[in-house]
Structure 1
Amino acid sequence: MTRPVFADPKTGFVFKRLFGSEEHKDLILALLNGLLELDRAHRIVSVELLAPEQRPAVTELKYSIVDVKCRDARGVTYVVEMQVLNVEGFEKRVVYNVAKAYVGQLGRGQLYPELNDVIGITICDFELWPRSEGLHVPMLSRWRMQEQHDGERGLGQLQFVFLELPKYDVSRPPQTVVERWAYFFREAESLTMVPEVLAQPPYVDALEAARTAGFSEEEWDAYIRAGMAIQDERGALSLARMEGRKEGREDGLRQGIEAVCQVLGIELTDARRQEMATLDAAGLAALIARIQARKDWQA
């Protein structure tokens, strides 16, 4: 198999290679400062990478999500996640991970004032808040608690940042730091050379770290397996959703038959219910049409 010039940074293997290794610690610093939109006076200058925690056994999240945890000199913890697939309960899981990192700081005998803030940064390869639903959440959104009457912000111990990659405007070159990061994550695997818009640090450094020519055979095999696993998960989720829609339509048709029978005074015997159970959506639709036309199941 011919290797692309650059590996996809959205896969777990490459994401951790770039943003979860001591060798490339400058990249996680640049990503944090960029997505948090910190000015020079407030920039994070150093972080300590934290050991990954054991994730709860949720099969549909086995490969499609990867995270990197780090802590800065002030004690603030950052949970940086790459999420490829949109699965049920995704937002709740993000909140759970950040809250878990927050309470996990408190050991036996420690006091609440010793707790430091936790910021969750999630990069989504899908629209978490779709534009088609009339929402106006920007590509980069930042969330924290606020008082509901006058909008006063507070309780900032838990904060959330989301970068929704599909919302990147592909009609023009990236202009801001955030847009360059979005462009990097979206387009890296399709690039054949370093584009001018990513020709300066930290983006060029991220591309060089993702250059597949530097992968050993074992690393390349791990990258390929990670990509295949994500495709398998994507297919499994798609199939489950299709089957769910099919089952929902069939349930609706069965309820429709019951309603028609009730109006027409037709008794739903066990035999008739068993017949309904053997029919797919097309068969159920045909049956309800026959009942309405009084060509089947006469009252």
Structure 2
Amino acid sequence: MTRPVFADPKTAFVFKRLFGSEEHKDLILALLNGLLELDEPHRIVSVELLAPEQRPSVTELKYSIVDVKCRDARGVTYVVEMQVLNVEGFEKRVVYNVAKAYVGQLGRGQLYPELNDVIGITICDFELWPSGEGLAVPMLSRWRMQEQHGGTKGLGQIQLVFLELPKYDASRPPGTVVERWAYFFREAENLTMVPEVLAEPPYVDALEAARTAGFTEEEWDAYLRAGMALQDERGALSLARKEGQGEGLRQGIEAVCQVLGIELTAARRREIAALDAPGLSALLARIQTRKAWED
């Protein structure tokens, strides 16, 4: 198999290679400062990488979730996560993950004032808040508690940041730091050379770390396995959704038949069982207009 010039940074193997290793610690610093939009006096200058033991156990999502945890000199913990697949309850799992990182700081005998802030940064390869549904959530959104009457912001011990990659405006070159990171995550695997918009640190450093020519055979095999596992997971979720949709349609057909007084004979049940979701939808429409199974 011919290697692409750059590996996909959204895969677990490459994401951790770039942002979860001591060798490339400058990249996680640059990513944090960029997505948190920190100015020079408030920039994070050093972090300590932490073990990802606080990730909740979700066996059916082993390959679409990958996170990197780190802590800065002030004690603030950052949970940086790449999420490739949109799944039910995703927002709740993100909140759970960040909240667990917050409460996990407090050991036996420690006091509440010793708790430090936790900021969750999630990069989504899907629209979490679709723009076509009357919502006005930008590509990079930041969330914290707010008093509902006066709008005063407070209780910032837990903060959430989301970067929704599909909201990137590909009709023009990236201009801001956030846009360049979004462009990097979206397009790196399709590039054959370093584009001008990514030709300076930290983006060029991230591309060089993702250059497949620098992968050993073992690393290349690990990258391929990670990609195949993700495709398998994507296929499994798609199949589960289709099967769930099909089961719902079968139940709908039975309910409509009961209301209309249509007998579900053994032959008719066999016909229903043999249909896929589009066929079931068509059959349900015919039954509702009394055009199916006419004697």
TM-score (norm 2): 0.92
1:133 aligns with 2:103: no
Residue 149 and residue 208 in structure 1: after superposition, are their counterparts in 2 closer, same or farther (change >3 A)? Answer: same
Percent identity between matched residues is 81
Cα contact 1:6–1:189 (8 A) shared by 2: yes
Structure 1 unaligned regions, length at least 5: none
Distance in 1, matches of 2:161 and 2:59, equals 25
Q: Per the alignment, do residues 251 and 202 of structure 1 end up closer, same or farther by CA in structure 2, a change over 3 Å counting?
A: same
Q: Look up the SS of the partner of 2:49 in the other structure.
A: strand
Q: Distance in 2 between matches of 1:15 and 1:155?
A: 31
Contact 1:9 1:188 in 2 (8 A): yes
Partner in structure 2 of residue 26 of structure 1 = 26
The residue that corresponds to 1:120 in the other structure is: 120
Task: Kindly name which structure, 1 or 2, has the bigger radius of gyration based on alpha carbons.
Answer: 1
Aligned twin of 2:46: 46
Residue 147 of structure 1 corresponds to 147
* Distance change in 2, residues 1:257/1:201 (3 Å): same
Equivalent positions of 1:99-248 (< 5 A) are 99-248=99-248
| Aligned CA distance change for structure 1 residues 17 and 251 (closer, same or farther; 3 Å) | same
**CA positional deviation for 1:275:** 5.9
CA distance in 2, matches of 1:106, 1:182: 35
Give the drift of 1:117.
Answer: 0.5
Greater shift, 130-139 or 223-232, is seen at 130-139
Asked if 1 retains the 8 angstrom alpha-carbon contact of 2:70 and 2:79, the reply is: yes
Asked whether the equivalents of residues 14 and 223 of structure 1 are also in contact (C-alpha less than 8 Å), the reply is yes
Secondary structure of the structure 2 residue equivalent to 1:161: strand
**TM-score, normalization: structure 1?**
0.91
Q: 1:93 to 1:199 in 2, by over 3 A?
A: same
How far 1:150 sits from its partner (Å)?
Answer: 1.3
Deviation readout 1:148-185 (Å, 9 max, x if unpaired): 11111111111000000000000000000000000000
1:285 deviation in Å? 3.9
Residue deviations 1:66-85 (CA, integer Å, cap 9, x gap): 00000001100000000011
Give the CA RMSD over aligned residues.
2.0
User: Cα–Cα, structure 1 residues 149 and 256, in superposed 2: closer, same or farther, change >3 Å?
Assistant: same
Which blocks of at least 5 consecutive residues in structure 2 are unaligned? none
Give, in whole Å, the separation in 1 of the partners of 2:292 and 2:266.
Answer: 21
